[in-house]
Amino acid sequence: MYLDELSIDPQQAIGVNIAELVIASDDVAIAMAKALITQTREQTDEQTDDSGFQQIVLDLVKAVLVYKLGKEKEQELMVMFTKEDMRKAWLVQEFMEEAKLEGKAEGKAEGLQEAVRWVATNMLKIGISPEQVAVATGLTLDQVHDLSK
């Protein structure tokens, strides 16, 4: 099933329009986002109990546009969203980049520690003394003794 084969009224299907925005080319995405924002605001204004839904849709549209277009299209995005909205979007993007870098660093550190323990275990297996293993690997003597158990 493809989106263009669905028989859904585009004025009623905000979810389908969001999905189309995700797969739209960059040059079409901004126009689609503007229409989606207008549609969302109109529909949720009619239904006053859906203000939370409106914010979710607007946040999702912002996230898709930031991901697709990046900072080079900041001026066009600023027209559609408030400055505060955009600041939040960039902060989220920067936070995610920082989290990725931290995760990679933690993974490397854990991998290195695992490799050191593996080498130390193999050194013990071939008969190298625990004291020499501790000196060679940088592990404490207690850590080396724990590995020999």
Tens-place pLDDT, residues 19-38:
788 888 877 887 888 888 88
pTM comes to 0.42
- DSSP 8-state assignment for residue 73: G
How confident is the model over 105-141, as pLDDT tens digits? 888 888 888 999 999 999 999 999 999 999 999 999 9
Closest CA to 147 of 116, 114, 120, 113: 120
